[in-house]
Amino acid sequence: MNKVFLVGKLSPDLDMRYTLSGKAVCSFSLTVAYKTRLREENEIIDCVAWDTVAELIGQQGQGGRRAAIEGRLHTRQLEGADGQKKKVTEVVVRDVEFLDRLPLAQPS
């Protein structure tokens, strides 16, 4: 079974884009805090969402909102600018639930 549940803070710099076929894709990182015996640690986890989930995150995930995500781990191999191959592991998000309120728009 390949299933991941994470709660954390979305990166403020979401990368929302569309494929040539019009499919929405949103790449972002999720900062997850956890405690060890000695101190609190943070883990930054790369995530990618597709289609309606990507559009939802792109529309409502701005500004580092707290979110719970559900998805699966996916590892792929990339070739860097220097020609070296490297593995990238990310969470492919299937569902998202925002845990805080969307900030109100400031009157102009």
pLDDT beyond 90 at 104: no
The predicted pLDDT at position 82 comes to 87
In the chain, domain spans: 4-98
The predicted pLDDT at position 71 comes to 98
For domain 4-98, the CATH superfamily is: Nucleic acid-binding proteins (2.40.50.140)
CB 89 within 8 A of CB 75: yes
pTM value is: 0.84
The predicted-structure confidence for 43-63, as pLDDT tens digits, reads as follows 999 999 999 999 999 999 887
The predicted-structure confidence for 1-33, as pLDDT tens digits, reads as follows 999 999 999 998 899 999 999 999 999 999 999
The predicted pLDDT at position 103 comes to 60
For 98, counting Cβ atoms within 10 Å of its Cβ (0-12 exposed, 13-18 middle, 19+ buried), the class is middle
